[in-house]
Amino acid sequence: MPKAHPTNHHEAKLRKAGHRLIAGVDEAGKGSWAGPLVTAAVILDETDVPAELYDSKMLTPKQRERVFVAITKTALAWTAHVVPVTEIDKEGVHKANLQALKRAVEKLHISPDAVLVDAFKIDLGATPVINIIDGDALERSISAASIIAKVVRDQIMSSELNRQYPKFHFHVHKGYGTPLHAKLLAMHGPTLAHRMSFAPVQAAAQKASKKFIANKKKPTIFNKAKPTRHTSSRSIVGKPKKHVIQTKKLKKSIKKKAARGPKRTKKRTAHKR
C-alpha cells in the first residue's frame, strides 16, 4: 500500500461551512485508445471511511477490487456512468468527459450538498463545485470515485471487450496506448471498440486500408474457349480432325475392295481360258 493517505482538507472546509453530503467525482479511461470512458461519483460516510482508501493509480488490481467492495458497502451513495466509444467520437473526448462527470453526480440517489472534482470544473447549478488538481491523490472522496471508475472500466475491458476482440489482449493493456497495443493495432487495424477520433487510431486505420488495397487480388480474365466441332459421334476426344477424316476414307476403301474382289478374279480366269 502507498505510504500517504489522501486527506480531507477541502472536505473539512465544506463541512465547517455546513455541507454534510459531499460527493467526490472522477473518471477513468479518458486517454485510452479503445473502450469506454467511465465516470463515478461517491458520497462517503464520514463515520465509516475504508482504511485502504488511496488514489486508484497507486493500488494493484487486487487491492483496487478489495477497496471497491469496501466503498460500495459503506458509502452513503455511489454510481458509475459509462460513455460509449460512439459518443466520445461524436462529441470529442473532453466534452464527453465533462458531460459524463456531471451525469455521474446526477445519477446519485442522494443529492449532494457540494461536489469535489478531480481537475475539471463542471457546472451543477446552485450546488458548489470545487475542482482540485491531483484530487484523486489528495481528497479521499475523489479517491473513492477514482477506484469505482477504474474497477468498473477494467472489468469492461477485461471481460466484455476482451472476449469480443481476443487478438487485442484488452485484459492486459486495458485499451491504453502501450507498445503492445500499438503493435497489435498496426497488425490488425482498429476495431469498433477503438476511438476513431484519436490520431494513433486514425493512422492505424489508414495503414490498414492501404495494406488491404495492395493485397487485393485482381480478377482473372479467361479467354472464351471455341466450341469443339466433331465430325462424328464416334470420334475420339483429342484426336485431330484430319486424322478422323483419313480414317473414314480408309474404312470405305477397304469395304469397296472387299466388295469387288471376287468379281475381278472370275473375269481374269475366263480370259485365260
6 contact partners, CB below 8 Å, separation of at least 6? 53, 54, 55, 136, 137, 138, 139, 140, 142, 143
pLDDT in tens, 186-228: 999 999 999 999 999 999 998 877 776 666 655 544 444 455 5
71 contact partners, CB below 8 Å, separation of at least 6? 42, 44, 50, 53, 78, 144, 147, 148
pLDDT in tens, 117-126: 999 999 999 9
What is the predicted pLDDT for the residue at 93?
A: 97
Cell numbers 479467354: residue: 223
Q: Domains plus CATH for the chain?
A: 9-165 (3.30.420.10)
Buried b (16+ CB within 10 A) or exposed e, 136-168: bbbbbbbbbbbbbbbbbbbebbeeebbeebeeb
Provide mean pLDDT across the span 131-147.
94
Distance CA 32, CA 13 (A): 34
Q: Which of 55, 41, 47, 42 shows the shortest CA–CA distance to 7? A: 55
Distances (CA, A) of 218 to 207, 210, 213, 215: 20, 15, 10, 9
Distances (CA, A) of 208 to 123, 186, 199, 203, 214: 41, 7, 14, 9, 10
**Strand, helix or coil at 49?**
coil
Global pTM reads 0.76
Instruction: Supply φ then ψ for residue 226, to 5 degrees.
Output: -75, 140
- 129, 115 contact by CB (below 8 A): yes
- 39, 50 contact by CB (below 8 A): no
Answer yes or no: is pLDDT of 239 > 50: no
pLDDT in tens, 98-117: 999 999 999 999 999 999 99
State the DSSP H helix or E strand holding residue 61, giving kind and residue range, or none if neither: helix 61-74
- 23, 40 contact by CB (below 8 A): no
